[in-house]
Amino acid sequence: MVAKDHLSLQLYTVRGKLEEDFDGTLARIAEIGYTKVEPFGVTAFADRLAEALPKHGLSAPTTHAGLLREDSAPIYAAAERLGITTVIDPHTDPARWQSADGIKEIADGLNKAAAEAADHGITVGYHNHQFELESKIGGAHGLEILADNLADNVILEVDTYWAAVGGADVPALLKKFGERVTAIHVKDGDGTLNNKAQVAVGDGTIAVRDILAAAPQALRVVELDDFTGEILDAVEGSYAFLTGEGAPE
């Protein structure tokens, strides 16, 4: 089973709920049992997060922010204010993943960002979708080429669902990346591009237990990109599965 302090929730999962009731949604997340969250739009939400996180006993060790597309100074300022120690770029243009040179340019950008972030006590990382795995060059997934060109201090947050959709052997990939993977997105569904087919962790076709066992060091970040029912039911169901019997630490 996953320890509570090793579990987080990507707040994009509940974006609609946050628009309706920001404070109440975070209160419900804490009531379910989560102690950590992964914000998005951290510069826009910094004021509300600064008030709500400590109020509900939540911390945010990681966040998603477009370091390669946006002005980094406000991102680092928001992260420092909120006690966030890892800033993860969540998306790049799929067209850049069609050649080794394009991927190396992305790595160079992340390496430069990491050097700048280090001055703020912040670690930089990258989060994948499916296209970084669908891209294969010389027999290697694009994400593998990226990892080979990253500085040692740049981490990976492997979205295990999208890696599976992209055709990767996810447990093998996680074992290859080793300690560079400090966080993983844990999600479940039917293994297709249909976001609406995503379900609570443990209710789909993804080999979640094998994935967790392959990266014991990584923070487990629950996420659903979409859901057909009441999203907080899926958030609660994911928590129950991961913290219950049968799921490895």
pLDDT per residue over 111-123, tens digit each? 999 999 999 999 9
The string of pLDDT tens digits covering residues 170-186 is 999 999 999 999 999 99
Q: Residue 186: name the closest of 169, 206, 156 by CA.
A: 206
Q: What is the arrangement of strands in the sheet containing 219-222, beginning at the earlier edge strand?
A: 37-38, 7-10, 219-222, 181-186, 155-159, 123-127, 86-89, 62-64
The string of pLDDT tens digits covering residues 178-210 is 999 999 999 999 999 999 999 999 999 999 999
- Between the CA of residue 76 and those of 11, 63, 88, 105, 156, what are the distances in Å? 19, 11, 11, 22, 18
Kindly tell me if the per-residue pLDDT of 216 is higher than 80.
yes
Q: Which pLDDT does position 156 carry in this prediction? A: 98
**In 10 A of CB 230, how many CB atoms?**
10
Helices within the chain (DSSP H only)? 15-20, 22-32, 42-55, 72-82, 100-118, 131-134, 142-148, 160-165, 170-177, 208-214, 231-243
Which helix (H) or strand (E) element contains residue 10?
A: strand 7-10
Kindly tell me if the per-residue pLDDT of 247 is higher than 80.
no
- Helix %, strand %, coil % of the chain (to 5): 50, 15, 35
The string of pLDDT tens digits covering residues 138-180 is 999 999 999 999 999 999 999 999 999 999 999 999 999 999 9
| Residue 246 pLDDT class (50, 70, 90 cuts) | very low
Q: Which pLDDT does position 245 carry in this prediction? A: 52
- Burial of 139 from C-beta contacts in 10 A (0-12 / 13-18 / 19+): exposed
For the segment 6-12, the average pLDDT, to the nearest whole number, is 98
The string of pLDDT tens digits covering residues 83-112 is 999 999 999 999 999 999 999 999 999 999
**In 10 A of CB 105, how many CB atoms?**
15
Q: Read off the pTM.
A: 0.97
**Mean predicted lDDT score pLDDT of the chain:** 96
Question: Residue 205 gets which letter from DSSP?
Answer: S
Q: Which pLDDT does position 248 carry in this prediction? A: 53
| Residue 1 pLDDT class (50, 70, 90 cuts) | confident
Q: Which pLDDT does position 18 carry in this prediction? A: 98
Q: Is 148 helix (H, G, I), strand (E, B) or coil?
A: helix
Q: Whole-angstrom Cα distance, residue 38 to residue 246?
A: 25
Among all chains, which residue has been given the structure tokens 């243009």? Answer: 93
The string of pLDDT tens digits covering residues 17-61 is 999 999 999 999 999 999 999 999 999 999 999 999 999 999 999
Q: Which pLDDT does position 101 carry in this prediction? A: 97
Phi, psi of 71 (to 5 degrees): -65, 125
